[in-house]
Structure 1
């Protein structure tokens, strides 16, 4: 069963790569490769038959094993195994290629809170790599770290490489920058830290954004208004 699930995940990953980022909205939230393929087939068969591929992309057994092992290695905090995959497939650290992926290795490392792997990937990847949004919710790696853990060193490492993601919202909500996402997810310590390092201008109500008002609303609900005033 575990091997079958890994193969399915790998096949789904390749489908996302093959269809390109503009088409990710069609299969957002889909967890099965067959379901993703059926959705894409129906979409293109109804609207543009000529542009639909003749058959779903197929993986060799070796490629299936490589892909699933990389995901497993990152989840289990095994940098040596993950690095071996990256050495064989260095394109995963290329910004243009990575934009077509469901989520980058850095997304996964940040989500699981593996600081060592995050540090290694930050060292290897260009700054723009940290601005890539995943295909599911439109999260940057920093947004992943903000909503999944209280591991401030992970967020600090990402910010030390590129501060721009502090101001990048998710695809779904223009107000949901990492600081807001952290508080909204109940990660108070992470929220306080991200608020302290996010440019003040982002929260100003006179810039026409809903970031500031929603931030205050969330903090009021969590009883955090008193805490955040100490950072400004």
Structure 2
């Protein structure tokens, strides 16, 4: 009964997001103390061995799992992911403390930073903080059942290195490593994808033009275009960016408007090296004025997929931009419903789960009411909106914030899903959804 209560009670008022560590740690520490789990987190001695005292070892293992579970569900999704390989509550706690003490300027992401500059910056920090051995390792990581002490040390350093890699690589790079939970694999994946290649001498003719766009010097850029008009649609950087891609990331709205007027609809469909259209880039940076300008000329961009995960712009806005809710609202109002249907792609389910995580419940609920079958569809991480809602409920001490979800769940339109099990095709999701009703109650 204690395990059930501890795993389903709210421990913190807000999940850990990196900026609220002090309040989060105090609240969670008090919760663990109330449930007699704090001794596991702050233990100074090694856990009892089963060969010496089997009963004591089992009791410790049970409390460790309970404490680790509460730490995990009290973290935001991105932070929880980096500690997913840690099996010790104490190591998880200590690792999160170190993560939240890292100065932000160490891992500030930039979508325009070159791969070489990024690797040099991270490598310097890794070497200074004894993390480089994790990234450059030539042997497989230790296993917990083989060498527990070595695994604990590795899992902590892996989480620290992985967090820095993920948070510093930029929103247009993150999807390539979003599902990788080992720092070395993430590092090697990025190296394989973005390692420097021979310089394309053809790009040298655009170097001044690119700089003018980057610095907001439209007069000079326009003068260049008058002598070489085809440059308006050319890929002028090693990232495969057009001048419009660069102007968007640089934040020069006036230049974006000028370039859009000069470009054809086909020009606007051009994707950069990472598979992003100019509207996908607008969704990343959250500039609504730029997006309106582009959509007025080329509405089809609303349904063109971006990146390796193939997300349409409205979903990109919620997936990789923590301040993208207003952009998402605008794009949602412009996006056709058919592009969010579950039979077409993962975009509908992903939009709802990202809206739930962003606490944009009105958009999530609106789409669910229009397409109820999305409740049990899977997003790009393999999670359904119902499961996302259940996870979010752990972060609240009261169900009041989710009261309108209860009304929707009990609505007759939603119950129609469960009268057609073979049409929905997944009994597991029906069982999980009924459990969620119990969680929200």
Question: Shorter-chain TM-score: which interval?
Answer: 0.5 to 0.7
C-alpha contact 2:351 2:364 (8 A) present in aligned 1: no
Aligned to 1:19: none
1:208 to 344, 354, 358: 344
In the alignment, structure 1 residue 160 sits paired with structure 2 residue 325: no
Aligned to 1:13: none
1:223 to 359, 379, 402: 359
Shift of 1:57: 5.2
In the alignment, structure 1 residue 182 sits paired with structure 2 residue 317: yes
1:36 to 197, 215, 228: 197
Question: Whole-Å Cα distance in 2 between the matches of residues 82 and 160 of structure 1?
Answer: 23
2:264 to 126, 133, 155: 126
Secondary structure of residue in 1 paired with 2:197: helix
1:173 to 304, 309, 312: 309
Map 1:1-232 onto structure 2 (within 5 A).
28-30=193-195, 35-37=196-198, 58=201, 64=204, 67-94=206-233, 98=235, 102-135=240-273, 137-148=274-285, 150-174=286-310, 176-184=311-319, 185-186=321-322, 187-205=324-342, 207-227=343-363
Which stretches in structure 2 are left out of the alignment for 5+ residues?
1-112, 117-190, 371-441
Q: How many residues align?
A: 178
Structure with a larger share of its residues in helix: 1
Moved over 3 A (4+): 56-59, 97-101, 227-232
CA offsets, 1:10-62, max 9 Å, x none? Answer: xxxxxxxxxxxxxxxx98534xxxx302xxxxxxxxxxxxxxxxxx6547xxx
TM-score normalized by the length of structure 1: 0.67
Name the CA shift for 1:57/1:180 in 2 (closer, same or farther; >3 Å): closer
Name the CA shift for 1:203/1:221 in 2 (closer, same or farther; >3 Å): same
CA offsets, 1:64-119, max 9 Å, x none? Answer: 4x53222221122111111122222222235xx55998111111112222111111
Question: Whole-Å Cα distance in 1 between the matches of residues 260 and 318 of structure 2?
Answer: 25
Question: Whole-Å Cα distance in 2 between the matches of residues 57 and 112 of structure 1?
Answer: 23
Secondary structure of residue in 2 paired with 1:36: coil
Question: Whole-Å Cα distance in 2 between the matches of residues 130 and 173 of structure 1?
Answer: 20
Across the aligned residues of Structure 1 and Structure 2, the Cα RMSD in angstroms comes to 3.0
Name the CA shift for 1:100/1:78 in 2 (closer, same or farther; >3 Å): closer
Which stretches in structure 1 are left out of the alignment for 5+ residues?
9-25, 38-55
CA offsets, 1:125-172, max 9 Å, x none? Answer: 11111111001x110011111102x32110000000101111111140
Question: Whole-Å Cα distance in 2 between the matches of residues 190 and 88 of structure 1?
Answer: 36
C-alpha contact 2:244 2:256 (8 A) present in aligned 1: yes
C-alpha contact 1:113 1:145 (8 A) present in aligned 2: no
